[in-house]
Amino acid sequence: MVMSANIFNHDVLEEFEVEALLNELGGNGNQAQAICPHCGADITDADYECPSCGVVLKVAPKRKTAATRELLQVIESENMNGDYHMYRLPDGTLYCDCFSFLFQKGVKEECKQATCKHIRKFIESRNIAIQTLQDENLTQEQRQRIQQQIQSANFPATQPLTDWQKVLFKKLGIVPHKKLSREQGYWIIRDLLSKMGVEYYQFVKIVRENPTYELLPLYSYGVELEGLIRSRDEMYEKMREIGFKVKQTGYSHEMGNKLWKIGDDGSVRRSMNDEESRNYRSMELTSPKLFGDDGFKEIKKAIKIWNEIGGKVNNSCGFHTHINAWDYTKEELKRLLLVWAKIEPVIYFLVSPSRRNNNFAQFWNRDTQNIVSAILRDIPSRYFSLNLMPYQTYKTVEFRIHQGTMNADKVIYWVVFCLKLVQKVKEGLKWYHFSDNPNIEEVLGKLGITTNAIPIIKKTREYLLERYQYFSNGNSCDLRAFDPESIRDEIRNDIISRYSSRMFYFPSSQGDRSMRPRNHIESIAVINPRNLIPYSEIASLRRDDNSFIIRSNSNSNRFYTVNYDPEQETITCDCRGFRQNRYCSHSISIARYLWIQKEVQKAENLDF
C-alpha cells in the first residue's frame, strides 16, 4: 500500500517499506516485547500508542512524496462562517475544509467516498452535467467544459487510513468515517493543526510526553473592541487596502461572511475628556465569526492598523468576546453560569480595577438573586460579566468583563480563556468540581489551560498567571463568595411559591417564561382551578409514591383517588369532574405538586 502524502513536510516511508524494515530488524517478523516508558504496561514494537495509557510511543517514518491538492471551488458559508474550499486530491477523492468534514460530523458515503453536504452537492452537479452532455444542441465549447467538470469528479479506488493516521485522529478526538481515504485523512490532520496554530512536530511531542494534553477548541468566536481612534475613515480605508471585507456602521448587529464593522460607540464617546474629544473619535471595531489561529492573525492585523493610525483606550472602554454555544443545551447554559459565578473571585483579578464595579459588566456574585432569576425566570439584563442573552438569538454567550485594549496578545489570550471555559463546561465541568475558594492555579487547571498543551495555551497560562499576580498583589476582592445554599433556598422558595399562582409557568434556561407544556402533567398544571388543595397538606394525602387520597369538599365521607403513572407521565382522578372534563381541582393540585417536587429536587443539587 502507498502512503501518498507526507506529514507536514516530514518525509514518510511507504507502509510496505515500514513492514519490510521491521521484518528485517526482527529477523522472522515476530513483534518484540517492550515496556511503556510512561505507565510500564507491556507493548510491542508494532504499537504506535500504548494500549494501556494511550501515550504515543513512536512516529511514522519519513518518505519523500509531497502532498498536493487542486482547488475546485470556493463556497461562501450559509451560516456566516466565512469561505470553504473544495479540492480534488491525487487519489481522485474530493475534500472540503468545512468544519463538518474536518470533524467528520454529518459525513456520509457517496460515490464510494466520505462526503460532506458541499461535496454531495458538487457530485450532484456532476450527475446533472452527465445528463446535460446528452443534449445534441450543445456547442463544442460547452461540451468540452462539461466534460472537464465531469472529469473533476471521477472517483477511482482509494487507500484506507494508515494505522498512524488512525492514532492521530484519535488524539484529535475525531472518529473518521469508514470511507475516508488516507489522502483525505492527511489534509484533515494538516488543516486542523493549522487552524490551532500548532506545528506537526509540536503536536507529536505533546502526545508523546503525556496521554492527557490540551488543544485549542475550534468553536467560532467574535470580538468587539471599544476604544478611541484618530480617524474611523482612515481605519476603514487601510483595512480595505490590505484585503479586509469591512463596512462603516452605526451601532449595529448586522452580520456577514468575513465582514468587519467600524462603528461609533456612545458609551465611549460620552466618557471622553476634552483632549480626547479634540483629537479622537470613539470606535467599536467588531469582527465577523473567527476561527482558531486564522482568527488570531486577523485580530493582529486589525489592531496593528489601529495602532498605526493612532488610538487609545480609557476607563470606559471594554472588550467583549462572543463564543459560539450552538451545541449547548439549556441545562448546559445554567451550568456555565454557575461555573462562572464560582470562579468570579479569580476573574476579578484578571481584569483591571476599572472593570470591577462597571455598570456595563456587573459581577453575578454581587447579588445571588440575579443568579436565581437567570436560572428560573428572566436574565436580569445583558450588562453582566457573562451575558447569556445572545444565546436566545445568536446561540452565543458574551464575556463582557475585560477592559479595553489595543494589545492583540491580550485579546487573543482572553479569547483562549473563554474558549476553554465554554469547552470544558460542555464536556461536563460543574461548579462543585472546584474547591470552596479556588485559586488561579486551580481554575486554569480545571479549564485545561495547562503546561501540557499546544503553544498558544501555554502562553495563555503564563500571561494569566502574571496578570493575576499583578492585580491581586496586596489587594482584596470585595465580591461575596459563591453561596450555593442561598441559591438553593431562593430557587426552592421561588418554585414553591408558584403553586398557587394563576399564571403557573415553566422556567426556561433561555431566560423566558414558557407556558408550553411538555407532557400530560404540565398540561394539567397550567389550568387555573377554582379551589386548590393547600400545598402544605398534600404530602399527608400521599398513600404511596404514585397515588393520593383526597377528601371531597362537599361530602366528608367521600374520598377520591388521584393516580400518577410515571412511565406514561399521566395523571387521573376518579371524581366525576375529571371524567367529564379530563381535569379537576384534585388533579391540578397534584400535578402542580409533583412538578414542583421534581424541580425542587433539581435545585437541591444545583446539578444541571
**pLDDT > 90? residue 133:** no
Q: Please report, for residues 356, 504, 517, 573, 593, the alpha-carbon distance to residue 590 in angstroms, rounded to integers and kept in the order given.
A: 47, 14, 16, 10, 5
- Burial (CB < 10 A; 0-12, 13-18, 19+), residue 397, is buried
CB neighbour list of residue 589: distance below 8 Å, 6 or more residues apart? 529, 532, 533, 538
pLDDT of residue 511: 40
| pLDDT for the residue 238 | 98
From the list 57, 20, 22, 25, the residue with the least C-alpha distance to 38 is 57
Nine-digit cell string for 317: 472602554
What local confidence, expressed as pLDDT, does residue 2 receive?
A: 35
Close Cβ partners of 243 (under 8 Å, ≥ 6 residues apart): none
**Per-residue model confidence as pLDDT tens digits over 413-442:** 999 999 999 999 999 999 999 999 999 999
Please say whether the beta carbons of 119 and 183 come within 8 A: no
Q: Which residue type occupies 72?
A: L
Of 164, 115, 120, nearest to 5 (Cα)? Answer: 164
User: Which residues are CB-contacts of 148 (< 8 A; sequence separation ≥ 6)?
Assistant: none
pLDDT by residue (tens digit) across 557-607? 999 999 999 999 999 999 999 999 999 999 999 999 999 998 888 777 888
Task: Return the pLDDT at 19.
Answer: 46
Yes or no: say if 91 and 83 are a contact pair by the CB < 8 Å rule.
no
Higher pLDDT, 397 or 271: 397
pLDDT tens-digit profile of 446-481? 999 999 999 999 999 999 999 999 999 988 899 988
Question: Average pLDDT for residues 39-62, to the nearest whole number?
Answer: 90
Report phi then psi at 550, rounded to 5: -125, 130
* pLDDT at site 605: 81
- Tell me the residue ranges of DSSP E strands in 380-445: 386-387, 396-403
Q: What is the dihedral of CA 475, 477, 478, 484, to 10 degrees?
A: -160
Distances in whole angstroms, Cα of residue 146 to Cα of each of 96, 135, 153, 370: 22, 11, 11, 62
Domain 220-472 has CATH 3.30.590: yes
Which pLDDT tens digit goes with each residue over 235-249?
999 999 999 999 998
pLDDT over 90 at 376, yes or no:
no
pLDDT surpasses 50 at 4: no
* Average pLDDT score over residue span 152-171: 82
**Burial environment of residue 284 by CB neighbours within 10 A (0 to 12, 13 to 18, 19 or more):** buried
Mean pLDDT over the full length of the chain: 88
> Residue 136: exposed, middle, or buried by beta-carbon count in 10 A (0-12, 13-18, 19+)?
exposed
pLDDT at position 174 over 80: yes
CA–CA gap between residue 525 and residue 585 (Å, rounded): 10
pLDDT at position 470 is: 96
Q: Which candidate, 274, 270, 280, 279, places its Cα nearest to that of 315? A: 270
- The stretch 275-297 carries a mean pLDDT of 95
- Tens-place pLDDT, residues 179-230: 999 999 999 999 999 999 999 999 999 999 999 999 999 999 999 999 999 9
Would you place residue 92 in the very low, low, confident or very high pLDDT band (cuts 50, 70, 90)? confident
Q: Would the pLDDT of 79 be above 60?
A: yes
* Annotated domain spans of the chain: 70-199, 220-472, 486-605
Q: How confident is the model at residue 1 (pLDDT cuts 50, 70, 90)?
A: very low
The total number of residues shown for the chain amounts to 608
- How far apart are the C-alpha atoms of 538 and 541, rounded to whole Å? 5
Q: What is the pLDDT of residue 155?
A: 55
Q: What is the pLDDT of residue 299?
A: 98
Mean pLDDT confidence for 158-178: 94
Between these two residues, 4 and 525, which has the higher pLDDT value?
525
**Burial (CB count <10 Å: 0-12, 13-18, 19+), residue 419:** buried
Question: Is 80 exceeded by the pLDDT of residue 325?
Answer: yes
Q: How far apart are CA 460 and CA 443, in angstroms?
A: 13
pLDDT of residue 11: 41
